[in-house]
Amino acid sequence: MKFKFLSLFAVLVPMAAFAEDKLDSGNTAWMMISTALVLLMTPAGLALFYSGMTRSKNTLNTFAMVMGAFVLAMVLWIFAGYSIAFGASQNATLQNAVGGLGNIMLDGIKWTDLSGSYPTYIFVVFQGTFAAIAVAIASGSVIGRMKFSSWLIFVALWGLIVYAPIAHMVWGGKGALLFDAGALDFAGGTVVHMNGGLAGLVLAVLVGKRTGYLKTAMKPYSVLLAAVGAALLWFGWYGFNGGSAFGANAIAGLAVLTTTAGAAIGGAVWMLLEWIIFKKPTLLGIASGIVAGLVAITPAAGFVSVGGAFIIGAFGSIIAFLGVVWLKKKFGYDDSLDAFGIHFLAGLWGAIATGIFALEDKKLLWDGPLKESGNRMEQIFVQFESVVAVGLFTLIGTVIVYFIASALTGGARVDTRVEEIGLDETIHGEKAMNL
């Protein structure tokens, strides 16, 4: 089957250079760098961020869950995920939710093929890093109590059954459900952060709470490692958001600025909230606020002004703070490392706020109510539709995938003895530090 790219780039970046089927070395270099930056976010940034926050006896298991998720998700993405997300379907009805299977193992895509003005192979890997970090985010909710075998089966199935269809619905081009509705998601507020964060909450509820939760002190292994991880996430996020302009262009410049503003104000707001409420501004709080600000600005990065970015980042941090400090205690769920509180809640706010603060600039906007008619209220309604659709699909899909993984591994939760000793030694036979 001859590969035909789905006009996504012509819609996302309506620039003259992208209308030509000609390789541009500048755009190619930027996309390669952006891909490397996003790759850094998971097996380094997120892994360190999560590992620093977990208990010492589960540090390596935490790192392994993130790194294991990344490598397995990338393999499955190349094998079939990319085709499901961005392949062309022969059925118009199915095209609403999934692409085709014509590009399994990248069949039909030649190394000389271009996506706009850079090689399609780069786009494949770039999008694969998004698929990998989305499922890795969910691991933060079940650290210290989920079987590694169950987790890996969950990763493999979730990437194909949940992530790839959602990526298609939002970014799959003409014929895809939410793309046709005009939903705006510049770099993954719904596709990555809402998706991964809600999957984490579902897992946390289904696996159950950690033994001794709210009764035993569960101190982080190293706040310093967590802060370094957050800094690496911020660094890599320039590829995450800036790369989503799909070229070294002015939109990428806008995304880099708004990303910086969102992260900075997010960290500052969280710090002030802790200072006012708890009288002590913690390093972990500043790091968490930075990540919350980054998550919130992600869907809006290429659509809003710096003023809009400050507002989105600030409220994203406030909402995530409330999720971590108040909501989790109110409802009693054990979201170990606050994947739901930070990624889902800030991502949800960012997705809706995109409709509120997006600039009425047709050179920036994708096709949708705001671009076509200037109807902002209709655009906000579309944003609500998109978060509801993604939320329902993630909820149902995650439950199904969890029970399959649990059935295949004789239950997804480790036994009490393993949990008490720690997963580092019992599952991996290693210690974070041998002193």
- Which residue ranges make up each domain of the chain? 20-428
Q: What is the pLDDT of residue 77?
A: 98
pLDDT at 6 over 50: no
- Which residues are registered as beta bridge partners of 114? 119
Higher local confidence (pLDDT), 294 or 17: 294
pLDDT at 178 over 50: yes
pLDDT at 8 over 60: no
Give the model's confidence band at 13: pLDDT under 50 very low, under 70 low, under 90 confident, else very high.
very low
Q: Contact 51/58 with Cβ under 8 angstroms?
A: no
pLDDT at 14 over 90: no
> Which residue matches tokens 């008490």?
420
Identify the weakest region by mean pLDDT among 6-20, 118-132, 221-235: 6-20
Mean of pLDDT values over 216-231? 95
Mean of pLDDT values over 286-299? 98
20-428: CATH topology is Ammonium transporter fold (1.10.3430)
Residues whose CB falls within 8 Å of the CB of residue 217, separated by 6 or more in sequence, listed in order: none
pLDDT at 367 over 80: yes
Percent of the chain with pLDDT over 90: 90
Which two tokens mark 393? 């699909």
Give the model's confidence band at 21: pLDDT under 50 very low, under 70 low, under 90 confident, else very high.
low
Give the model's confidence band at 90: pLDDT under 50 very low, under 70 low, under 90 confident, else very high.
confident
Q: What is the pLDDT of residue 10?
A: 41
Other residues' Cβ atoms within 10 Å of the Cβ of residue 29: 13
pLDDT at 355 over 80: yes
Q: What is the pLDDT of residue 7?
A: 40
Q: How far is CA 5 from CA 9, 32, 120, 165, 385, in A?
A: 9, 19, 9, 17, 26
pLDDT at 222 over 60: yes
Which two tokens mark 110? 């030649």
pLDDT tens, position by position, 186-196:
999 999 999 99
Give the model's confidence band at 1: pLDDT under 50 very low, under 70 low, under 90 confident, else very high.
very low
Nearest CA-CA partner of 346 in 320, 326, 385 = 320
- Which residues are registered as beta bridge partners of 119? 114
Other residues' Cβ atoms within 10 Å of the Cβ of residue 320: 32
Identify the weakest region by mean pLDDT among 91-100, 106-115, 150-159, 187-196: 91-100
Mean of pLDDT values over 387-412? 98
